Chain A
Amino acid sequence: MALEMSQFHEAFFEEGFESLDAMEQGLLKLDPNAPNSETINSVFRVAHSLKGGSGMFGFTEITSFTHTLETLLDELRSGRKAVSSGIVDLLLKSTDVLRGMLQATQRKTPIDQQVVADLQFDLEQLVAQGPSAAAASQPAPQPEPEPEPSPPPAAAAAAELKPEQLAHPAGTTWRIELKPNERLLVLGNDPQRMLAELAELGDLERHVDTAAVPALADIDPEVCYLSWRLELNSQVTQEVIRSVFEWAEGDCELLIEAQPGSVAPAAEPEVRLPAAAEAAAAVPAAVREPPAASAEPPGALPAGAAPSAEARSASPARAETAAEPPKSATSDSNSIRVSIEKIDELMNTVGEIVITQSMLMQFAQGGDAASLDRLRTGLGQLERNVRELQDTVMRVRMLPISFVFSRFPRMVRDLAQKLGKQIELKMTGEQTELDKTVLEKIGDPLVHLVRNSVDHGVEAPAARLAAGKSAHGTVYLDASHRGGNIAVEVSDDGAGLDKDRIQAKARERGLIGAGDVLSDEQIYELIFLPGFSTAEKTTDVSGRGVGMDVVRRNIKSLGGKINISSERGRGSRFVITLPLTLAIVDGQSVTVGSESYIVPLISIIESLQVKPAQVNSLSGRGEVLSFRGDYLPIIRLHEVFGVEPRTRMLHEGLVVVAEGDGRRVGLFVDDLLGQQQVVIKSLETNYGHVEGVSGATILGDGSVALILDLPGLIRDASTRAAA
């Protein structure tokens, strides 16, 4: 039957990428000296579900590769092969290759066969090598290992059984009928595994039914014709037994029931017990429940007594569910996927409500007192509700910063290995949430900073020991909320910034005068200058084109800032402060003539009335304002935007001292109105790009106000002055 599978492809890819991330994280946690069996299991599960999914959709290259990977992982899991750092490296490489394969398949571009074949070869070699030295000490023929040392998932579950998962201590005899359907083997589910796992739950008696196996010539080597009738005497509940078949769900017919006469499970310890036994007995043996329907213990009567017709066979619809990896393999978070467009729509609507609300508020300004009072109360409430709604919607856009952090353990590990350093990465505050847009843009700057810390910050082990420090260096990553902002910190316990060298370099390049005395902060500022590097040689670790100037520019474009502190020999600390969201900005509204403009609060230093004496005119360079010992160029907004101002006399209006890209200017405006949060509407989408304007918003009275982009405005003004 031609089932339309392509609609599930996207879900598979998304799940796939997530699984790979989970796998990578798992692998990074894997300590070759003390391998955690649960970690190996979780990595195994990821490989397994990928294999199942790709088999489902006919992505044979991925299936084949994951099969090999799974085989190796199974060796590790069963303890036949010991985990070594070489194997972990190979497994990490496998996640990279798999990611590439997924991407290629998703984009329908060819897969890099050579890379895949090479790695698969290596993996197969490893598997073929047989038990490793460490594992070989165990007797090789040891059949299915005891729950120790690394039991398969279901057995692991059994090993950690909680009391409530155990039925009557005397045990129950479970009758299990397993009839694989045609696709089970192709999807990578081997009944061997399930039967072995069952055998670990208790005494298992197996009767294999071979009647359906056709003559050799007629066998399709990929179809399972065997079926099984099993009797399991065990103390576990039905759920535990069912979990053994979790992966095969939908690809086999399965019946699990308590034997009449045996002790029924204690899942429902009421007087219903006899009824349960009866119910189980009443179910005709021919009736097979699909696993999903057998979730309830027999104590819940209807499940066994009324199996639905569609449940009887593994319908295609059921088969689809197999494509979804078990939840535990990806993430435990209760989440749904929502497209960004939808959220943006919602955000827009909320923006509109905000506008309507402030419009109503203005109506309420005049009119008769009594009714207006009530109107105001109502509006006050509306305002509160709207603000809540706004907050909620904003939170929907928020994602934990772990989405960005998660790439660092791997990166630091690889870099440290390449540089021959011993570096530990400590991350805190991964759950700190910030806007998705900010999140996406903060990645590159963070990568650069972390790379810097690993490359230039933390010293080589020998140098560290010589400095009386432990050979192990540490790089810290931290994220936290600070007021309305997010602070992301990258720090290390390395050598710290070398102030003398930075200064020397700056002198050499003529950036500072020979006699200039700079404060620490001013010195650190220097490293943000384009092309500034004190590294004697650029390595391929740090020489990737993005300099600190780009880091700072990226952060500034997000409305954030970066601060450095450093102590010689003790380490350095880079603190990035970011706004929570880019969709809303705290602004100061100012008027020029009949127009209103919004100046982002973050860029305002102060506003003042100037005296004529404070202003000097420079020929050809416009006017400058003497401000706290500094001279700031004055930008007359009415000239920039071509509007008729209330006054052209500087002392009759106001000057807003604002900063952009590290340069300060005085903005000449008529008046200040008030501070408010404004929803940013893109000018590019609705009109076109205007230099010096970052967006627009709609004010309470329905008029449009432009939001000023200080860096742009300053650039624009300086080109004007130069012209």
Chain B
Amino acid sequence: MARARKSSAVARIPDSAAAPAMPEPVIDLGKTCGIREGASLKQQLLAVLEAADPVAIDPTAIERIDTAALQLLFAFERDRAAAGRSVAWRAPSAAFAQAAATLGLRLGGNAAAAQ
């Protein structure tokens, strides 16, 4: 029985990213977000780095996220902030909040840093 390799749960950017009339671009982080997904996550983030407000990141479903991915998200938010743009965070899952707190990283304002 031939099985397709499961594409690990990395996010798709809804087509809306290119369509100005559509709602804000959302980057859904999926369930698992780690070093293996790092390169593709980086590309997704870069694609919307310069996008006008608002860009949303959705960590709602996250069950595991590692330092490599958090680091990318941190840089994304920081770089956008430096350019005067914001990031809208959807409600983070407990796993996401915990991972960020473990590292002492502040992401999405205080939402993730609460310990």
* A residues with CB within 8 A of B: 64, 67, 71, 117-118, 121, 124-125, 127-128, 130, 140-144, 185-186, 190-192, 195-196, 199, 206-208, 210, 213-217, 219, 221-222, 224-226, 228
Main SS at interface, chain B: helix
Assuming the A-B contacts A210-B74, A216-B72, are A143 and B46 also in contact, with contact meaning beta carbons closer than 8 angstroms in the complex?
A: no
In the bound complex, residues from chain B placing their C-beta under 8 Å from that of A206 are 103-104
Q: Which of B35, B98, B105 has the most CB of A within 10 A?
A: B35
Q: Are A225 and B71 within 8 A (Cβ)?
A: yes
Q: Are B102 and A219 within 8 A (Cβ)?
A: no
Assuming the A-B contacts A192-B102, A210-B78, are A224 and B67 also in contact, with contact meaning beta carbons closer than 8 angstroms in the complex?
A: yes
Question: Distance in Å from the Cβ of A222 to the closest Cβ of chain B?
Answer: 6
Q: Are B98 and A219 within 8 A (Cβ)?
A: no
In the bound complex, residues from chain A placing their C-beta under 8 Å from that of B9 are 128
Q: Are A192 and B6 within 8 A (Cβ)?
A: no
Residue of A nearest to B5 (CB): A117
Contact pick for A226, options B3, B67, B79, B101, CB 8 Å? B67
Cα A208 to Cα B36 in complex, Å, equals 23
Assuming the A-B contacts A192-B99, A199-B102, A207-B104, are A216 and B68 also in contact, with contact meaning beta carbons closer than 8 angstroms in the complex?
A: no
Q: Is B64 an interface residue (CB 8 A)?
A: yes
In the bound complex, residues from chain A placing their C-beta under 8 Å from that of B45 are 216
Q: Is B13 an interface residue (CB 8 A)?
A: no
* B residues with CB within 8 A of A: 3, 5-6, 8-9, 31-32, 35-36, 38-39, 41-42, 45-46, 49, 63-64, 66-68, 71-72, 74-76, 78-79, 93-95, 98-99, 101-105
Q: A207-B104, A226-B71 are in contact. List 8 more A-B contacts (CB 8 A).
A: A140-B94, A191-B103, A213-B74, A216-B46, A216-B72, A216-B79, A217-B49, A221-B35
Cα A343 to Cα B101 in complex, Å, equals 56
Contact pick for A214, options B5, B75, B101, CB 8 Å? B75
Q: Are B78 and A217 within 8 A (Cβ)?
A: no
Cα A219 to Cα B98 in complex, Å, equals 23
Q: Are A144 and B67 within 8 A (Cβ)?
A: no
Residue of A nearest to B75 (CB): A216
In the bound complex, residues from chain A placing their C-beta under 8 Å from that of B102 are 144, 192, 195-196, 199
In the bound complex, residues from chain A placing their C-beta under 8 Å from that of B6 are 121, 124-125, 128
Cα A226 to Cα B38 in complex, Å, equals 16
Contact pick for B68, options A125, A208, A215, A221, CB 8 Å? A221
Q: Are A219 and B72 within 8 A (Cβ)?
A: yes
Q: Are A192 and B67 within 8 A (Cβ)?
A: yes
In the bound complex, residues from chain A placing their C-beta under 8 Å from that of B64 are 71, 127
Q: Are A185 and B67 within 8 A (Cβ)?
A: yes
Q: Which of B31, B49, B94, B104 has the most CB of A within 10 A?
A: B104
Contact pick for A141, options B31, B36, B76, B94, CB 8 Å? B94
Q: Are A128 and B104 within 8 A (Cβ)?
A: no
In the bound complex, residues from chain A placing their C-beta under 8 Å from that of B8 are 124
In the bound complex, residues from chain A placing their C-beta under 8 Å from that of B78 are 210, 213
Assuming the A-B contacts A190-B66, A199-B102, A222-B68, are A216 and B38 also in contact, with contact meaning beta carbons closer than 8 angstroms in the complex?
A: no
